[in-house]
Amino acid sequence: MAQKQVVEIQARTVDDAVRLALEQLGLPREQVHVEVLVDNVAEGGEALVRVTPLHVLANSGNATRTAPPRVDPQTEALVKQVVRELLSAMGFTCDVMAVDNPSIIELGPNDPPTVFIDIFGPRAGMLIGRRGEHLAQLQYLVNVLVNRRLPQWTRVILDIEGYRSRREESLINLAQRVARQVARTRRPVTLEPMPANERRVIHVALRNHPDVTTRSSGEGDQRRVTIYPRGMAPADG
């Protein structure tokens, strides 16, 4: 079984969250990087941390990565309010947290202001749906509601109890596994159809790979990524 790349853990305190993450990773404290995403302990809430092995940071070139600036607190507060109101109307009582970007895909200079929200609570998993379909619909609705109240377009990316992070980790492991196969056999492999955000994870995970390259092809919900031996991919366009 491949070792986990990144672990995000919520617990009653930061120390408890770090301890649980280290147990999952099977690593000592001195071999990981800890980011405290949320610390609401003083307000009666919980802590959320992201723990990344140092060798993963070194291999991915992210050792000096800095998180992009968060949007202003007032916007974050409005987004959380909208999400809570919508969930309450749907019959869900959940904790709603604004967090730093949990993805390997960093925000670029042309990206709109973005708020990342993670939702925790009883039955929250029901909001994910098959392959994240319910989550995608919920995210769309939240974006519509939020931007009715803001003067500037702001993007909201929703997650449910770290589902997107776990899915991204799974996609990265898949990309690396298939890349090894393609490099060994010198034959391209086409993956199953994926939504745009998941295809992008595959492209980013392999963009600096020495032996393979990636291309997307197909239309609509049948668009998929093919991993090619380097030098054998068709020309773009």
- Looking at the structure of the chain, the number of domains it has is 3
Query: Would residue 40 count as lying in a domain?
Result: yes
Query: In angstroms, rounded to a whole number, what is the distance separating the alpha carbons of residues 105 and 157?
Result: 13
Span 187-200, average pLDDT: 89
Cα gap 104→113, rounded to integer Å:
17
Asked, for residue 15, whether it belongs to a domain, the answer is: yes
| pLDDT of 162 strictly over 80 | yes
Kindly report the number of other CB atoms within 10 A of residue 207's CB atom. 9
Task: Give the model's pLDDT for residue 63.
Answer: 41
State pTM to two decimals: 0.61
Distance CA 201, CA 87 (A): 28
- Do 153 and 80 fall into the same domain? yes
**116 and 174 in a common domain:** no
Asked if residue 51 lies in contact with residue 32, where contact means CB atoms within 8 angstroms, the answer is yes
Q: Distance between CA 237 and CA 230 in Å, rounded?
A: 18
Same domain, 109 and 59: no
Same domain, 86 and 122: yes
**C-alpha 124 chain-centroid distance:** 17
Quote the pLDDT of residue 147: 92
DSSP H or E segment with residue 154 = none
Between 60 and 70, the more confident residue is: 70
Residues 78 and 40 grouped into a single domain? no
Asked, for residue 214, whether it belongs to a domain, the answer is yes
Residue 210 belongs to a domain: yes
Q: Are residues 140 and 175 in the same domain?
A: no
Identify the CATH number of the domain in which residue 146 sits.
3.30.300.20
Cβ-contact 40, 203 below 8 angstroms: no
Q: Are residues 118 and 54 in the same domain?
A: no
What is the structure's pLDDT at 175?
92
Residue linked to tokens 């947290």: 97
Q: Which domain holds residue 39?
A: 7-65
Q: Based on the domain organization, do 134 and 151 belong to the same domain? A: yes
Q: Return the higher-pLDDT residue of 1 and 77.
A: 77
| Same-domain check for residues 186 and 222 | yes
Choice among 32-46, 79-93, 165-179 with the minimum mean pLDDT: 32-46
